[in-house]
Structure 1
Amino acid sequence: MAGRNIWGLKQLRLQMLCKRGNFEAICRRWSSSTSSQVHGNCKASLLKKLNAKIPEESDNVCVYRVPAKLRQVEAEAYDPSIVSIGPYHRGDRHLKEMEELKLKFFHRVFGSKQEREVELERVISAMEELEPKARSCYADEVKLSRDEFVDMMVIDGCFILQLLREVGSCRSSSSLVQRWMLPTLRRDLIKLENQLPMIVLRELLDVIDDSSQCECSVLSLQDLTLKFFNPLLQRDSHMNAAGATATMSRTCHFLDLFRSSILPEIQDQDRKRQPRMIQSITELTEAGVMLEKSQNDRALDIQSEGRVLKIPPLHIDDHRGTLFRNMVAFEQCHKKCKPDATAYVFFFDGLVNSEGDVEILHYKGIVHHSLGSNKEAANLVNKLCKEVDWDGEESYLHKVVCDDIDVYFMSRYARLRARLVHYYFSNWVVGISTVAGLFALYLTLIQTGCGVADTLEALKENSFWAYLSDSFSLLFSRPSTPIPDPEYSNQE
């Protein structure tokens, strides 16, 4: 009986092993089929993506969305406040009020013409022909139909041209623009995301038959643009813009044009890597660097001659730093332009470490601001570089920072002078204390010298060793009996 039970258990075990083997085989087959299915699905998905048509990068791209890491620092510096130009902010709720004003300017362009329908037809035909090229200027996909895009180019372009004419040359201001609007319009029209390609404006200007005989019919688009935007840096609105004529044909939009107008005239061979940043204004002045206000109207044209640093005046009247933030964002996105505005911003960030640095620059006539305090101006300058990547390659400020100022700053004389000024002449109180201490030391030295002279005179009568032996003998001699005072004795 026991043998049968054992035999039965063996058979049961064999059956379980067979079933287990079948189960494992089934699992292997299922796993293999599942893996094959996943592989096939992945391959099909990747092939679909590989065969999908990806839009090619256009050489015309010049209008970009501001990178998220820059936007998170100061988003309002990149978003338009009152008016939308181009497709990126078209239809934003807070910008709809200005659409009526844009239409009024559009009517002014064609309203005085006898055959405005014919003129409008010419404009539409030109914009339809230009539409593919203009659309390719935007880095992000423009979700507007062909008709909507042409409508946008005509309305926005006519608004801009008429605004430039009325404000820039024909009259000091436009009857349609309220006084508070003009500074805000300047800042809105210079923002990177709020641009209309320059090719659109040039084509519109060529097509529209302007019968006006005022000054605006003579000035070029470049002159009108610079006259309109010059107040952003407090430059003379009647300055001669001929120096930037050569770059006009290569500029992409208003931001690029204004940026080109303030760049220094420097050759590419003068650009080198700038491994170090410049020291603060306080450190430079302590070391003996002399600051001078440059008379050059190109804000980025910083020059140096030995220990003399020449900086064009900088006017800051916007607490967001809109102009420089957008120029830096454009350089970060557009590979065709050199990062000169970025280098300039990092240069000033190195110069300004505290409100005291701003005070020195203001005293020299270099920095002017309307931000309430020097501390706010210093904070604004320091925040301009936040989240901005710059490796110093091809810096146009290499000669200023490395070849001139840094070489002088690292000299033995400069370091000694900086140490003395920092510790002993940092302000007028410390300076007076230092002079008083030096004067007291001088008097002490005179007194010591006179005492030594008297001692030397006495040494002529007796030798030095005689005085020395008398000094030692006093240590071992008994004190002498004091002589009684006669007056004290009489009283007793």
Structure 2
Amino acid sequence: MAVRNIRGLKQLCLQMPCERRNLEAIFTRWTSTSSQVHEHCKASLLKKLNAEIPEESDNVCIYRIPTKLLQVEAKAYIPRIVSIGPYHRRDQHLKETEELKLKFFHRVLKSRQEREVELDRVISAMEELEPKARSCYADDVKLSRDEFVEMMIIDGCFILQLLREVGGCCSSSPLIQRWMLPTLRRDLIKLENQLPMLVLHKLSELISDSYQCEYSTLSLQDLALKFFNPLLQRDSHVNAAGATAMNRSCHFLDLFRSSILPEIQDQDRKRQVRMIQSITELEEAGVVLEKSRNERALDVRSEGRFLKIPPLHIDDNKGTLFRNIIAFEQCHKKCKPDATAYLFFFDGLVNSADDVEILHYKGIIQHSLGSNKEAANLVNKLCREVDWDGEESYLHKVVCDDIDVYFTSRYAKLRARLVHYYFSNWVVGISTVAGLFALYLTLIQTGCGVATTLKALKENSFWSYLSDSFSLLFSRPSTPLTPKDSNKE
């Protein structure tokens, strides 16, 4: 037994140096691997650090829609029948309208006597504009210079000819079927489907208008507004393109957005710390809603407890329009989030179908969505996944300085409480009035009783009535006459 223990100890002693050498080898490999990882990581980071990262151009104005907005309503941002610009150029479902764009291109240049000379002028001008136009797109455009120039010319000629035929001399085009026009309007207003305005201005200068009609002198902005005005059911003859902001617009979406904004001074913008209450709550507190006659849809005004709102027509087209305007404001640093503030304002006003019904009765909201509930859902869904912190809100005066100050007053709170609990609908109102009338009659009856008592008190003193009442406690009750006694008498 002792011999076996001695042998085991010898073997253990022999194994220990071997295990130590294995541990040293593992540690050496780990140290070597760690240093290699360090060197590889350092080399990779140095390569990235030394690489030139392209800075965002100041001209960027056409963006890809953020993913979180696409997840809410993707179809509102993706063109359905026509592609403009590079972002959706290769979409398979838009290939059919490429032939339509070529037909409009032919109508612009093919009928001209010196079309080859004029085409050379157009190509040269677009080649000169190509770097600046390319810098208007936020994403890297995977098109060669020739492809980009060709795209600008064909898409630009298509847009200009479409505006002249539909927004200018007549209300339709022989190349456009009736069902296509509303869809074209929605496609041409989408953020990812834009051509820079500088390209359209240059093409408009180079290609003289061959149409002679009452609209032949309209500017490109005016033609565009006449074409897109049906999106908001505005008067097609409203000429609002003289504003400075619209002259600086970078594409059609920016142009249309500027046309619906009120004239706002920078000093009027302040932080809006609170959202406005719902229409039901405002009416209960005594806020008076009025339909404004202003053509600019976002020009909301207030005077004390009087709230003036321009009319708004709600349908699926408005959802597309406002979603793209919001996406543009979320991405473009140079524009204020005024449309976003307006939609958050409306989102606060409309909490239920009852709010839509009140606005509809006032003539402020018109919709074609089947029910007030669907209209309320559409309004509430427009602001989903949209970030807005209330900074520089042009509605600060309306929400905070006028309506909120009145809403928090004692009179407004008392009125709101009375209306909410006792006059919320006609049934409750009738019950309340009936209860008040019954109380009134009770008070009259009580008053008459008191008056009669006071008259009796004038004839006898109060102490005599009091002594008589106490004497009744000790007096013997009189024996009533029985029928038998009465017969005896």
CA distance in 1, matches of 2:174, 2:408: 58
Match of 1:119 in 2: 118
Give the direction of change, closer, same or farther, for the CA distance of 1:235–1:322 in structure 2 (3 Å limit). same
Query: What letter corresponds to residue 367 of structure 2 in structure 1?
Result: H
After TM superposition, list the pairs within 5 Å mapping 1:8-407 onto structure 2.
9-244=8-243, 246-318=244-316, 321-407=319-405
What do residues 156-203 of structure 1 show as CA deviations (whole Å, max 9, x unaligned)? 110000000001111121111111211111111111111111111111
Greater alpha carbon shift after TM alignment, 78-87 vs 210-219: 210-219
Deviation at 1:488, TM superposition (A): 6.4
Deviation at 1:476, TM superposition (A): 5.0
CA distance in 2, matches of 1:346, 1:47: 46
CA distance in 2, matches of 1:488, 1:243: 110
Secondary structure of the corresponding residue to residue 269 of structure 1 = helix
Check the 8 A contact 2:423/2:432 in 1, yes or no. Answer: yes
CA distance in 2, matches of 1:141, 1:254: 21
Check the 8 A contact 1:319/1:380 in 2, yes or no. Answer: no
Check the 8 A contact 2:284/2:420 in 1, yes or no. Answer: yes
What do residues 329-378 of structure 1 show as CA deviations (whole Å, max 9, x unaligned)? 00000011000000000000001111111111111111111111111111
Give TM-score, length-normalised by structure 2. 0.96
Check the 8 A contact 1:293/1:365 in 2, yes or no. Answer: yes
Check the 8 A contact 1:280/1:351 in 2, yes or no. Answer: yes
Match of 1:432 in 2: 430
Give structure 1 stretches of 5+ with no counterpart: none
CA distance in 2, matches of 1:102, 1:487: 121
Deviation at 1:12, TM superposition (A): 3.2
The question of 1:459 aligning with 2:457 is answered yes
CA distance in 1, matches of 2:300, 2:140: 39
What do residues 254-311 of structure 1 show as CA deviations (whole Å, max 9, x unaligned)? 0000001111111111111000000111111111111111111111111111111111
Give the direction of change, closer, same or farther, for the CA distance of 1:484–1:82 in structure 2 (3 Å limit). same
Check the 8 A contact 2:241/2:247 in 1, yes or no. Answer: no
CA distance in 1, matches of 2:92, 2:22: 65
Deviation at 1:232, TM superposition (A): 0.9
Give the direction of change, closer, same or farther, for the CA distance of 1:217–1:486 in structure 2 (3 Å limit). same
Greater alpha carbon shift after TM alignment, 432-441 vs 477-486: 477-486
Query: What letter corresponds to residue 365 of structure 2 in structure 1?
Result: V
Query: What letter corresponds to residue 422 of structure 1 in structure 2?
Result: H
Secondary structure of the corresponding residue to residue 316 of structure 2 = coil
Query: What letter corresponds to residue 157 of structure 2 in structure 1?
Result: C
Give the direction of change, closer, same or farther, for the CA distance of 1:39–1:136 in structure 2 (3 Å limit). same
Query: What letter corresponds to residue 35 of structure 2 in structure 1?
Result: S
Deviation at 1:477, TM superposition (A): 4.6
Query: What letter corresponds to residue 326 of structure 2 in structure 1?
Result: V
The question of 1:444 aligning with 2:434 is answered no
CA distance in 1, matches of 2:17, 2:466: 120
CA distance in 2, matches of 1:217, 1:44: 63
Check the 8 A contact 1:74/1:320 in 2, yes or no. Answer: no
CA distance in 1, matches of 2:370, 2:21: 84
CA distance in 2, matches of 1:353, 1:5: 90
Match of 1:409 in 2: 407
Deviation at 1:473, TM superposition (A): 4.3
Check the 8 A contact 1:280/1:350 in 2, yes or no. Answer: yes
Secondary structure of the corresponding residue to residue 44 of structure 1 = helix
CA distance in 2, matches of 1:74, 1:212: 40
Q: Percent identity?
A: 79
CA distance in 2, matches of 1:21, 1:301: 83
Query: What letter corresponds to residue 91 of structure 2 in structure 1?
Result: D
Check the 8 A contact 1:105/1:158 in 2, yes or no. Answer: yes
Greater alpha carbon shift after TM alignment, 408-417 vs 120-129: 120-129
Check the 8 A contact 2:353/2:375 in 1, yes or no. Answer: yes
Check the 8 A contact 2:290/2:306 in 1, yes or no. Answer: yes
Give structure 2 stretches of 5+ with no counterpart: none
